[in-house]
Amino acid sequence: MKCPFCGTPSTQVTDTRENDEGDLIRRRRRCTECDKRFTTYERIELKMPQVVKKNGSRTEYERDKLLGSMKLALRKRPVTAESVEASLDRIEGHLLSLGEREIPSEELGELVMRELRRLDKIAYIRFASVYRNFEDAEAFSEAIREVSTPARRSRKPA
């Protein structure tokens, strides 16, 4: 592994830790040349489904893009980076468990909203307001009611 600071190809692993689920390895490394330290992560690489956008175009799934969207919604909210990473891991786990080659962007957006709702209700509202493209105050109010009241079973009129 090359040192990100000086580019030397000689680095030394000083610590290795596996996460609780056993699907991620964190390694602390030290450059033998400049003596700076950095962290690398090793995870299993599985083929994620392609995302089918509303206009029918297809694009590769990008974890960093999803992370950026979630971070924007979570900006200045009291949510840890570890919680966000765990949410992304759950989303990716769900995508992989589907076993599909493609997933509609709408379904991916709903997965993100479900995770944001678990993490922080304000972030959920922020994301939903952009994702669902609220047209008026009533749509916004409805989203607020969604997070304000516990999930209810729908009742059919008698």
- Pair (15, 60) in one structural domain: no
Is 112 found in the same domain as 64? Answer: yes
**Are residues 61 and 105 both part of a single domain?**
yes
Q: Does residue 153 have a pLDDT over 50?
A: no
- 37-43/50-52 β-pairing: unpaired
**Is there a single domain that holds both residue 39 and residue 107?**
no
Q: Is residue 5 part of a domain?
A: no
Flag whether 65 is in a domain: yes
Q: Looking at the structure, do residues 59 and 24 belong to the same domain, yes or no?
A: no
Task: Quickly count: other Cβ atoms within 10 Å of residue 100's Cβ.
Answer: 12
pLDDT digits (tens, 9 = 90+) for 110-140: 899 899 989 988 888 888 877 766 666 666 6
Check residue 87 and give its pLDDT. Answer: 94
79 part of a folded domain? yes
User: In terms of domains, do 120 and 65 share one?
Assistant: yes
Q: Are residues 59 and 29 part of one domain?
A: no
* pLDDT given at position 65: 92
Residue 55 CA to residue 78 CA, distance in Å, equals: 35
- Which residue pairs, CB below 8 angstroms and at least 24 apart, start in 58-65? 58/102, 61/95, 61/103, 61/108, 63/88, 63/92
Q: Which tens digits make up the pLDDT trace of 6-37?
A: 999 999 999 999 988 888 899 999 999 999 99
Note down the domain range covering 86. 50-147
Inside any domain, residue 154: no
Count of domains in the chain? 2
Q: 115 and 67 in one domain?
A: yes
Condensed to tens digits (0 to 9), the pLDDT of residues 50-65 reads 999 989 999 999 999 9
pTM of the model: 0.58
Task: Say yes or no: 90 and 124 in one domain.
Answer: yes
